Amino acid sequence: MFYFDPLYFVFLAPAMLLAIVAQILVSRNYSRGNAVGARMSGYAAARQMLDAHGLYDVGIEQVPGHLSDHYDPSAKVLRLSPDVYHGQTASAVGIAAHEAGHALQDAYRYAPLVIRNAAVPIANFGSGFGMFMLMIGFGLGLKFLAWAGVILFAGVAFFQIVNLPVEFDASARAKAALVDMGICDREEMYYVRKVLNAAALTYVAATLQSVLTLLYYLIRLGLFSSRSDD
Which residues are identified as catalytic?
99
Task: In whole angstroms, give the CA distance from residue 159 to residue 101.
Answer: 19
Judge contact between 35 and 92, C-beta under 8 A.
no
Measure CA of the first residue to CA of the last residue in the chain; give whole Å: 20
Task: In whole angstroms, give the CA distance from residue 198 to residue 116.
Answer: 22
61 phi and psi angles, rounded to 5 deg: -120, 155
- Residue 20 is classified by DSSP as H
Q: How many CB atoms lie within 10 A of CB 211?
A: 17
- Residue 185 is classified by DSSP as -
Which parts of the chain fold into alpha helices (H)? 6-34, 42-52, 82-86, 90-107, 111-125, 131-140, 143-180, 186-229
